Chain A
Amino acid sequence: MWTPTKTNKYGVVIYNWHGDNPYGLHLEIGDTVQILEQCCGWYRGFVTKNRSVKGIFPSTYIHLKPSRIENEGTFETAIPLEDTVVREVSLVLRDWNCIWKSLYVERETYKFITLRKVMRELLEWRKQLLTGTLTQDQTRELKLKTTAKIDWGNSWWKHKSNKEKNINFGVSLLMKKKLNYLFPAYAKLQMSLTCPHLYMVNLMAKEKYPN
């Protein structure tokens, strides 16, 4: 009997799954999946980067992660309960990766190398935030450093662009969308379009001093 999952809603793939089984879903290690229903050791769901393709896969191939559900039912969305800054770094890095690869194709060697260095730094800081061995003070500091670096990177990228205005707006809009997604509760707040990460900094300050 296939039954909707109650708590097992979201996870990361820990082993490549060919998907050659009936109704199978091809999975690559590192993919994140949203789980809809389960039956006898199998899950049915989809890879979050492609919601339209549903399929089944062994539950043993998934490491579950905590999440909360929005819009419960057929079209529900699982939102991972991750540290906001960690999540932000992942999203930003994946965005930057596209830019970085185009810098490569265009042979913008200096910028390519610079961006790579910054990306590696962010990767390392994200890792440190994840290990959970930092003290509160260190975590706070590292988060500030991280968001500042993201801001720097975004403005640097904007600066670099020839089609400045469009991209400028584009990146900010992207950021805004993302922030709305990350913090729906704050979505109604008026946000500065020019420097969304200042908003992040404020948000963190709020986390620390709720009042």
Chain B
Amino acid sequence: MSLNKPEKMPSLDANVVKIAVEMESENPQLKEFNQKIPLTNIIQDLCSGWDLTDPEQYALKFSEKTNQNYVTEKNRNEIKNGSVLRLAFSPSKIAYDILQTLHSEGSDDKNERTSALQKLAECSTDITFALEFINKQGLALIISLIERGKCQGAMLANALASFVELMDHGIVSWDILETPFINMVASYVNNQTSRPQEAKVVQSSLSILESIVLNSSAKYGQVEKEVGFPNLVLRLENQNPIIQQNALSLINALFLKADPAKRKIIASTLCTKQVRNVILQNIIQTSSGEVGSEMAHQLYVMQTLCFGLLEERMNTKMDPQDQDAHEKIKELRKIAFELDTISGGDASRRQLSPFTKDYKKLGFKYDINPALDFTETPPGMLALDCMVYFARNHVDAYTKVVLENSCRADEHECPFGRSSVELVRLLCNILRIGELPSEQTTTYHQIFFSHDHPFHELYCVCIVLLNKTWKEMRATTEDFVKVLSVVREQITRALGSQPANLEKLRQKLSTLTYSEITNLWQQERTSREQWESHARPIVQLKELVTPEIVQLIKKQRLNYMVDGTRFTKYSPRGQRVKDKFWFVRLSQNHKVLHYGDCDDKSVPTIEELPNKLGVVDIKALLTGKDCPHMKDAKGRKSTHQLAFSLTLDSVEMTPLYFVAPDEMVYDYWVDGINALLGNKMTSKEADNDLETLLSMEIKLRLLDAEGVGVDIPQDPPPVPADPPNYEFCYDFK
């Protein structure tokens, strides 16, 4: 054990920690606890400190809010400096006392036995105690107590709770339980008296039965036989959330472990309106509106198991001999194309035309034999089921979708058959049909408790959506993948908003148009780019490219000075001289400033400017209020902001005083002079120009690193060890 924090007085032995030990009605002892000394010795030492005989009857316990377990040789390294421990009766002593009380059946004092059982339930959460108690044949005694039905009320509740805790450690196999025990526990679940003290009995009984179902395959039948489903459903209506939760867990366990035939029966029970409503009203839409995470997980499991029933159809290819399926395909055709012609009377012509034409209109891939459309798994026959469900239950929507696309002459029609197959495959994927429930997930969808055939109904909503999106995208059959990627986004986002029923889902979907999805994608791209522009390699690249860009700005500024600028004349006191101007130019070789007076229109050539100032003679550039000519200027504020001056090394020459006509000219000249003097260009214009030029440069440099699949890493990728040699294959010398 090493100490985490250095102390002023470093303890020489890292095995020693300083702790306090308390004991009921005794003064606490402060101790140095040596991890190398056996616990029994330490306990002996403590006992003698408190004058306790029989140290073997005592043990140390942790004394924290979350941990009050016994200290054992295994977990003693959890003791840290400053830990507080408690000396208490040892597991063996407590187990012995409890067993004594329970065995003395003659004793009439029920209270004594009840409190012994209560103590047992509390202590059993600690595996150290549980082991001790089970070793003393305690579990067998508890089982027989329960089995013989001798306990009642609080005593029974504690016995059951103790049993749950003792079994929870996984020390004993669930297979040891016999039929009478199971029957007795099941009877507590079936017994619908609702006295408050019974609640704990029911909770524990449900939990025990769930564990039996999950852990002992041989006893499944017994539990299933003894507990009727209706009884469990009744328990879901209970107002106690733990009973609800345990009942649902047991239902899920029975569901999960059932054989396929049984599973269908269970599912059909669960999907009935009555059961769904019980769940919706008593669990999901409660007045508090809150569903605990364990309950949410159980709802998720139930949903996953219900959807799991679709797996078989999803993975079944269409059998060419399957007459029923052929009839269904014909029915699809009939509903779409014949209902409207019954009154029309053009039936004779209809019958002459081969079905093939209609199948083409229905958008099957294989219009000669649509059965082939259902040979891919997933979605297999599930697709056909959904289509027929749609045609039968939503005739109007169905015919609308089909006819809309069968009358188009261009290539923009959305083939109903093909898109249904693709859509059902997509839905199976989104809802993870065929996968076993995961341990952690707590996402359930209320919407799927709102209908008898939630999957098929979802398909009906989504096939209409797919059609709409197809039209919005002006898609052709080449675009299937792209349309589906948009539809996937629409469905996952809409489901993510947890709509309460199909109508809410429809509403949500109507807001998620194609253009909305493109917007969202665009936003995601932009934020990704923003994040990337701060990625280390890109920041490095910017630093690398910046000097090049700064040179460009410098060149531009110097060019500007070569072209020259006309300035208004100011007196050395900072007074503007009316109608007097002067002109300044930089020589082509950037070495001399030429200047001289001019009028308000002319642009004098370099030869016309009589005065010269060598750049080497410039001592410093002064700006704003630092300028000598602005020292006592009290005029308009803006003047001094545009003023700059050049002081010179030689005293014989007068400094040059400038006042720029506007900010841009000021920035350009100050940048230019700074560039000439080898200083940094600091103006706002220079910053802007750098930003503009640099961002374009970086964008262009990164063109090839753009696009799908290229990820810019934040940290340097791993570098391999140097290659063993440098004997290259290609020689370019």
Q: Considering the complex, give the chain B residue whose CB is closest to the CB of A83.
A: B707
- Looking at the assembled complex, report how far the CB atom of B531 sits from the nearest CB atom of chain A, in whole angstroms: 15
The docked-state distance in angstroms from the alpha carbon of A32 to that of B705 is 9
Q: Which of B479, B521, B537 contacts A14 (CB 8 A)?
A: B537
Instruction: Establish whether residues B712 and A14, one from each chain, have CB atoms under 8 Å apart when the complex forms.
Output: yes
Q: Is the CB–CB distance between A63 and B473 below 8 Å?
A: no
Query: In the bound complex, how far is the Cα of B558 from the Cα of A14, in angstroms?
Result: 37
Cβ-closest chain A residue relative to B712:
A14
Enumerate chain B residues within 8 angstroms of A119, measured Cβ to Cβ.
Answer: 696
B652 CB-CB contact with A under 8 Å: no
Chain B residue numbers with a CB within 8 Å of A126 are 703, 706
Contact status B473-A30, CB under 8 Å: no
Looking at the complex, which of A133-141, A151-159, A181-189, A190-198 is the stretch in contact with chain B? Answer: A133-141
C-alpha spacing A136/B699, complex, angstroms? 27
Task: Say whether A14 contacts B482, CB under 8 Å.
Answer: no
Q: Are A28 and B544 within 8 A (Cβ)?
A: yes
**Residues on the A chain within 8 Å of B518, using CB:** 133
Determine how close the nearest CB of chain A comes to the CB of B508; give it in whole angstroms.
21
Given A15-B716, A123-B699, decide whether A4 and B556 contact each other with a Cβ distance below 8 A: no
Q: Does A50 contact B (CB under 8 A)?
A: no
Q: How far is it, in angstroms, between the C-alpha of A41 and the C-alpha of B541 when the chains are bound? A: 24
CA A127 – CA B552 in complex, angstroms?
28
> Are B700 and A14 interface neighbours, CB within 8 A?
no
B555 near A105: Cβ-Cβ < 8 Å: yes
B722 in contact with A29 (CB, 8 Å) = no
| Cβ contact within 8 Å between A135 and B483 | yes
Contact with A along B682-716 (1 / 0, CB 8 A): 00000001001100110111111111111111001
In chain B, residues 29-75, which have Cβ atoms closer than 8 Å to a Cβ of chain A?
none
Smallest CB gap from B716: residue in A: A15
Given the known interface contacts A2-B728, A29-B702, the answer about A63 and B710 at a Cβ–Cβ threshold of 8 Å is yes
Decide if B724 is an interface residue (CB 8 Å cutoff).
Answer: yes
Determine the chain A residues whose CB is within 8 A of the CB of B525 once the complex forms: 127, 131
For B709, list chain A residues within 8 Å (CB): 63
Return 18 A-B CB contacts under 8 Å, by A number. Answer: A29-B540, A30-B541, A30-B701, A30-B703, A36-B728, A36-B730, A37-B730, A58-B718, A58-B719, A74-B730, A97-B700, A100-B696, A116-B692, A127-B706, A130-B708, A131-B521, A131-B525, A136-B475
Chain B positions within 8 Å of A, measured between CB atoms, are 473-476, 478-479, 482-483, 485-486, 518, 521, 525, 537-538, 540-541, 544, 552, 555-556, 559-560, 689, 692-693, 696-697, 699-713, 716-732
The interface of chain A, by Cβ under 8 A from chain B, is 2-4, 12-16, 21-23, 28-32, 36-37, 39-42, 44, 54, 56, 58-61, 63, 65, 74, 90, 93-94, 97, 100-101, 104-107, 116, 119, 123, 126-127, 130-138
Besides A36-B728, A41-B720, A42-B723, 16 new A-B residue pairs in contact (Cβ under 8 A), listed by A number: A2-B723, A2-B728, A3-B729, A12-B710, A14-B705, A15-B717, A16-B540, A40-B720, A94-B700, A105-B552, A127-B706, A130-B706, A130-B707, A135-B474, A136-B475, A137-B475
